[in-house]
Structure formats: structure tokens, C-alpha cells
Amino acid sequence: MVTPRKKLLWRHPAGRWYVRKYLNGKMIYLGRIEAVEGTAEFDRQYWEIVSGKKAAAKTSWGALIDAMRETEKWANFSPRYRKDLEPVFEYLKEKIGSADVARLTQADIYDAMERNRHRVRFANYIPTAISMLSKLAIRKRWRKDNPAIDIEPLRVPKARQKPHLPWANWAVDKMRAEGEPLPLLIFEIGVGSVQRPGDWVDFQWGDYDGETLKLRQNKTDKPLHLPCTEALKAALERTKAELSVAPHPARHILTRADGSAMDYHAMARVMVRERKRLGLMAFDQHALRYRGVMELAWAGCTDDEIASYSGHTSKAMIIKYAGEARQIMRARQAAAKRK
């Protein structure tokens, strides 16, 4: 009897065996063979992968991810943190969802990170997710160790490290003078609330009492009450007045044309279009938070006062942008004395 040739078999330089094939000009990995080459188990795993009949292990990563989503720990994570981890969980399910949890090695994690080097933030979330899942696997006795411990994160290439440029005075003036109503509202929420863009889309009319906005930060889960700037109050009152009826407290402040809640990506598209129209592409929406920090510093606020407003858990960014604002202010004071 002639043994069928394993045409799709490929060996990684590190010695691991994979089943892969070309599809529409792209290399597709169908699975990894865990057994020792030359054994009957090796052959069985190969033909199961090729036929698509590879059975998922009862102690698989897919089962572990499902179990994690049912834990109290997962429920207690902030919505922002869960949102960051969900795409990684889906990636792991797609790549190793049927594989036995006990077989993953640290080298496998580095391989996955390397394959995602083009998206560094996502790649660095892979060991974070695996470490979290491995702790649960240890409690379930599905594995004995945590392979993600001491994994070195990828660094963003220097060529791609572009710091957010705080909005200059002329750029602020141009937006307020020529901005369309919706992007101008987004702009004022960004500067006035001094929050991250991911929080802006969560504001509802019930969070606004005519003087302050309240929220619970997605990233830190910290509750904040934020006195509105005069410009932000004017933008909110103008928006409310344009509605045909008084807005329901549960209605989102930032909405699409049909009145549905606007998500982060839709908001970002609105701002990109407006910044292009006004020639303000050098100043992105994330930098509006830093503009707010600078304005608080110009008003004479201490780092602690700024932190109580912005919700920063670390003062590093406050020191950076507030320090820059204070330098500008002191230089102007010095220039006035020099005359």
C-alpha cells in the first residue's frame, strides 16, 4: 500500500511542523502538528487537519476563553479594557481555538506577536490576554505554568512614533470660527471635558445638568463630575435647541443623522473630514485632551487640580503638557517685562 504524500506539510526553521497551503496567492496556515515526526499520531494529526475534522480539545483555548467571559473578574473589568481584549480573544479563537491549552509555549507567543508586528498595540495585547487566560487555566488544572510571564513587548518603530501635537491657538480659533456644528460640538467636548475620545461618545443628555457633565471613565472606571467651560456649555445648549423636542436623558449627545448613538470610529471620520476641510490635519482629536490640560495650566491650576479634572492616574502626561503651557506663559510674562 502506498502512503499518500503529505503535500501541505511544512517545517518551521525552529523545528515545528505545520500544515499550510496557498489560497488566492496567500499562504494560509491550517494547523500545527504537535506529535513527533514519523509516528502514527503525527500522521493522524496531519490528515485530520487536512480534512478539516480535527477535534477540539476539551481543554482548548476556545473553551477557556468562553469560561473567562463567565467569570466575575471579567465582569468587573472596565468596558474599555474588555473592548481592548475582545479582538485578541477572537484572534486566539481563530488561530488556536481548538488547540489544547497545555501545549502553548512562550515561543508560540513570540511567533504570534511577530506576525502582528504591523499592529504593535494589538501584538502586545496577545501576551496580556494569554497571561490572564493562563491564570484561569492553572486554577482549572489545564496547565501548570503561565507561558506569558516575562514576555518582552514589541516597541513601536521610531519612524511611527508621532506625538500628538497640542492644538495651537490659531487652530482653535479657526475651528471655532469656521467649524461645522457637529465637529465643533465634538471639539468643544474634547477640550472642555479633558477626557479621552473614547469617553466622548458615551455622554448622554442625562449626564448634563446645565453646568456640569458626569461620566465614569472607560479606561479607569473612575467617576468624574466636570464643570463645563463656557464654550462647551454654549455648544451643548445650541445642540439641544436644534432638536425638535427636549432630548431624553438616555439619548446620546453625539449622534448620527438618524439620531442613533455615534461610535468612536464614526466620530473620528467626522473629525478627519473637518480637519481636512479646514487644513488642520496636524492636530488630531486625541490632542484635544492635551489642549484642555494646557488651558487648565494657563489658568493657574496645579497638577493635582488638573488630575482631578482629567482623571489621569499618572501625572507624566500632565507634567509634559502642563509644563509646556507654563513655560509658554512664563516666557510671555518675561517678554512683557522685557519691553
Spell out the per-residue pLDDT of the chain, length 339, in tens.
445 677 889 898 888 888 888 877 778 777 788 888 888 888 888 888 877 665 556 788 999 999 999 999 998 887 778 888 999 999 999 888 888 898 899 999 999 999 998 888 899 999 999 999 999 999 999 999 999 998 998 887 666 556 678 899 999 999 999 999 999 999 999 999 999 998 999 999 999 999 999 998 887 778 899 999 999 999 999 999 998 888 999 999 999 988 889 988 899 999 999 999 999 999 999 899 989 988 998 888 888 888 888 887 777 778 877 888 888 788 888 878 876
C-alpha cell at 251: 439619548
- Cα separations (Å) of 213 from 3, 197, 232, 292? 72, 15, 10, 15
What distance lies between CA 14 and its chain's CA centroid?
Answer: 32
Among candidate residues 178, 184, 195, the one with its CA nearest the CA of residue 242: 184
Among candidate residues 229, 227, 197, the one with its CA nearest the CA of residue 213: 227
Planar angle of CA 249, 255, 257, nearest 5 degrees: 125
Domain 169-338: homologous superfamily in CATH: Intergrase catalytic core (1.10.443.10)
Tell me which residue has cell 467626522: 270
CB 261 within 8 A of CB 143: no
The CATH number for 56-157, chosen from 1.10.150.130, 3.40.50.2300, 1.10.10.10, 2.40.30.20, is 1.10.150.130
Among candidate residues 214, 204, 198, 217, the one with its CA nearest the CA of residue 311: 217
Q: What is the CA radius of gyration of the chain?
A: 26
In our burial notation (b when 16+ CB lie closer than 10 A, e otherwise), range 146-176 reads bbbeebeebeeeeeeeeebebbeeebbebbe
Domain 56-157 and domain 169-338 have a common topology: no
Domain boundaries, the chain: 6-55, 56-157, 169-338
Report the residue count for the chain.
339
